[in-house]
Amino acid sequence: MRTANYADAIKCTAAEVIKDATAARTRLAEQLTDGHAIDASAYEAVMQADASAQPWQTVLRRAEKVTLAEAIASVREDAAEELLGYGERQSTSALQNEQDRLCRESLREFLRRSRGVVERLTKAAEAQVAGQQPTPASATPPAGRKPTKAQLATLQTIAAGGAKVREGHIGGGWRAEGPTGRLNARTVEACITQGWASRDVSTSLYRGQAITVTEAGRAHLPA
């Protein structure tokens, strides 16, 4: 499946869940306006729909800054941590306890529905890129595309292993780290853009994405 098609399908799923939450609120508002008797089930329906929509709303919001795969991966991590860190806490408010229960259920449902999505998005993206690039006849790099001294040094550091990119400070971007310290993020990005290196987008930038040298990049390294 093409990346765009699969990503669109995921976004449609998110939109439908969010749409259900809006519809539940509208129904409740109409019942209140019409003066109908309201029982607890009407409020619970809104709480349930809102809880189900929250993880998907977060995915779409984060996807405005990172890839959809990264957004889903980070929300899955947050959901898992929330569920693992939950204790047997109880509020004096029965409504709050019910809301907490619904939130936990919605997180479990999100984890179930999004299982394997990150991997499929990543594979689809890799397949699309591979389909757009001509198959090299040999490992000899194309003429005119040679790394600078700084880029070559960065490739050598990445090839040694242990290099990662992580989420940067608040304000955007990401930072790069090698086994012996910081790497120039712009140089690393240039190497990735040229196809000499790649980063593992199956994990989140918060956890750190491993950088590896591609076959095209190794062709530039000393024998």
Same domain? For 75 and 27 the reply is yes
Here the CATH number for the domain that contains residue 213 is 1.10.10
Q: What is the dihedral of CA 20, 24, 29, 34, to 10 degrees?
A: 120
CB-CB contact of 57 with 15 (8 Å): no
Q: Enumerate residues 6+ apart whose C-beta is below 8 A from 135.
A: none
Report pLDDT for 103. Answer: 87
Q: Which residue has the higher pLDDT, 79 or 126?
A: 79
Q: Which residue has the higher pLDDT, 211 or 145?
A: 211
Report pLDDT for 102. Answer: 85
Query: Residue length, the chain?
Result: 223
Q: Is residue 157, in this structure, part of any structural domain at all? A: yes
CB-CB contact of 167 with 205 (8 Å): yes
pLDDT digits (tens, 9 = 90+) for 90-110: 666 776 778 788 888 888 988
Report pLDDT for 131. Answer: 54
Number of domains comprising the chain: 2
Domain that holds residue 167: 143-218
Q: Is residue 134, in this structure, part of any structural domain at all? A: no
CB-CB contact of 189 with 199 (8 Å): no
Within a 13 Å sphere around the CA of 54, how many CA atoms are in the beta-carbon half?
Answer: 19
Q: Which residue has the higher pLDDT, 204 or 190?
A: 190
Q: Is residue 136, in this structure, part of any structural domain at all? A: no
Q: Is residue 184, in this structure, part of any structural domain at all? A: yes
Q: Is residue 131, in this structure, part of any structural domain at all? A: no
Same domain? For 29 and 96 the reply is yes
Same domain? For 88 and 169 the reply is no
Sheet holding 174-178: strands in order across?
181-183, 174-178, 164-167, 209-213, 197-199
Same domain? For 177 and 99 the reply is no
210 sits in the region (left: phi over 0; alpha: psi -120 to 50; else beta) called: beta
Q: Is residue 193, in this structure, part of any structural domain at all? A: yes
Asked whether residue 142 carries a pLDDT value surpassing 60, the answer given is: no
Q: Is residue 27, in this structure, part of any structural domain at all? A: yes
Which of 120, 153, 186 lies at the terminal end of a domain, its last residue?
120
Q: Is residue 130, in this structure, part of any structural domain at all? A: no
Output the average pLDDT for the chain: 79
- Confidence band for 170, pLDDT divided at 50, 70 and 90: very low
pLDDT digits (tens, 9 = 90+) for 62-85: 988 888 888 898 998 888 888 887
Same domain? For 205 and 150 the reply is yes
Segment 50-61 shows an average pLDDT of 91
* % the chain with pLDDT above 70: 79
Same domain? For 53 and 104 the reply is yes
Q: Which residue has the tokens 């809006």?
A: 22
Same domain? For 100 and 193 the reply is no
Q: Which residue has the higher pLDDT, 166 or 152?
A: 152
